[in-house]
Amino acid sequence: MSHAAASLTPMTARRAGPLQGRARVPGDKSISNRALILGAMTVGETRISGLLEGEDVINTAKAMRALGATVTRTGDGRWSIAGVGVGGFAEPAGPLDFGNSGTGCRLVLGAVGGCPITATFDGDASLRKRPMKRILDPLERIGAKPVSMAEGGRLPVTLAGARDPIPIVYEPPVASAQIKSAVLLAGLAAPGETTVIENEASRDHTERMLTHFGASVRIEPHGAHGRRVTLTGQPELNPAVVAVPADPSSAAFPLVAALITPGSDVILEGVMTNPLRTGLITTLRSMGAAIETVATRNEGGEEVADFRVRGSELSGTDVPPERAPSMIDEYPVLAVAAACASGVTRMRGLKELRVKESDRLAATVDMLRVNGAEVEIDGDDLIVTGKGRVAGGGTVATHMDHRIAMSALVMGLASDKPVRVDDAAFIATSFPGFVELMRSIGADIA
């Protein structure tokens, strides 16, 4: 496990001048994980550029190596994978350690679930608390068998993949791209059609990338906000070239920082604008945020934009529950924006936040309260009463959660007194270079 509790890295953010300049955040975590996994399931050489070289993704790369793929770093963000083909994974010599990464662990559970091998999955103390039954349940229907698991369906889990995977129709109990992706990746090895029915559409990077690698995926509307995704199993996957766009979930931090720091004027380059990822932009614009799209283009099959973001007077808003999947990772930093806004922001339907890298609902409330902001939980809703400014002066417990750490540091850039986090080490899981990037646009974080 990469982080010993003894080696905490505290960090403090202070108010300084306006933020200014241009920045490009690292590659998208979801796409980076998927590119490595699909590359490993394809015979031939897949070449990736712009890969996020954060700990979560590196752990996925190590798992692909342990399962028999040849994974080589050929340059800055450039990786080459010689894959083993659908159903071709070799039994790993030891446990696969996914560190802090729920996505890596769950997607690889799915990929292994369709192969006739047995593998043990493990992670750090945060990942060991997170639910895995949501993945194991559909995998059992496909024919995989959990040989052992910790209490409550937690890691470490030993999974015996299916010898003869069965194509299924599955309706996940929660809107989750991770569940959908695990089922589709297992379904790759099954004969016939594997279908996932979503009542609320979640990010569709797996579907897009499967198509990019040559699989046949059909997408139909389902209800008001949902989709029915059908994959034809046992495809001939072709090695692909993948260019990873900048991660909108990482861009969220400098973006909110610029909005809440008066006089700021920042350009964020090449941010992916997949509509299933842009809930935060929609919400912030409805709060009065000056976020201008200055250029758009297509990068590696995804729409991207350069955003010009200026310091803005924000007002409270109501965020509907059906928007949650398109901004599920952005609520902590939206809560910071809401605390700096005027009026009440109600964020509805946030049950899933309780099972992220931390109980993010509780961690977000504590982060704001310890810094003098007014916040409460009502059922699954988070309600922040913004006063136009935040007092600060508190130390935030990050609970091994990168997004709580970055959100708290962003808050410190605009609060009256500095904000300290107890441990900034986990920022490296998703956003290596965060502090340097923020400093390059004028932030005082040390």
| Dist CA 357 CA 143 (whole Å) | 29
Work out how close the CB of 19 gets to ligand S3P at its nearest, in angstroms, rounded to a whole number. Answer: 25
Residue number, nearest CB to ligand S3P: 30
Gap between the Cα atoms of 307 and 84, Å rounded: 40
The length of the chain is 446
CA separation for the pair 109, 101 (Å, rounded): 12
Q: Name which of 329 and 366 has its Cβ closer to ligand S3P.
A: 329
CB nearer to ligand S3P: give 202 or 274: 202
Closest CB 309 distance from ligand S3P, rounded Å: 22
In three-state secondary structure terms, 210 is: helix
Minimum distance from residue 257 beta carbon to ligand S3P (Å)? 20
Looking at residue 54, the DSSP 8-state letter turns out to be S
The active-site residue out of 56, 124, 306, 329 is 329
Q: Based on the number of CB atoms within 10 Å of its own CB, is 368 exposed (0-12), middle (13-18) or buried (19 or more)?
A: buried
CA-CA distance, 75 to 165, in Å (whole number)?
37
CB of 185 to ligand S3P, least distance (A): 11
Give the nearest distance from C-beta 202 to ligand S3P in angstroms. Answer: 5
Q: Are 408 and 8 in contact (CB under 8 A)?
A: no
What the block records as the tokens of 353 is 């936040």
- Residue reference for tokens 């899981």: 429
Q: Which is nearer to ligand S3P, 55 or 306 (CB)?
A: 55
CB-nearer residue toward ligand S3P: 202 or 230: 202
Pick the closer one to ligand S3P by CB: 31 or 258.
31
Taking a C-beta distance cutoff of 8 angstroms, is the pair 357, 431 a contact? no
Closer residue to ligand S3P, CB minimum distance, 304 or 328: 328
Give the nearer residue to ligand S3P in terms of CB position, either 55 or 329. 329
The verdict on whether 329 is a catalytic residue reads yes
How near is the Cβ of 177 to ligand S3P at its closest, in Å? 4
Listed in sequence order, the residues at least 6 apart from 286 whose beta carbon sits closer than 8 Å to its beta carbon are 317
Eight-class DSSP state of 143: T
- Shortest distance, position 233 Cβ to ligand S3P, whole Å: 21
Q: Which residues does 274 contact at the CB level (< 8 Å), separation at least 6?
A: 203, 204, 205, 248, 302, 303
- Report residue 159 as tokens: 């999974």
Is residue 432 reached through a cis peptide bond, with omega within 30 degrees of 0 on the bond before it?
no
Q: Which two tokens stand for residue 105?
A: 């662990």
Closest-CA residue to 200 (of 102, 353, 321): 321
- 108 touches 37 (CB < 8 A): yes
CA distance 302 to 245: 7
Binding site for ligand S3P (CB under 6 A): 30, 103, 176-178, 181, 202-203, 328-329, 352
* Distant-in-sequence, close-in-space partners of 378: CB < 8 Å, separation ≥ 6: none
Q: Which residues are catalytic?
A: 329
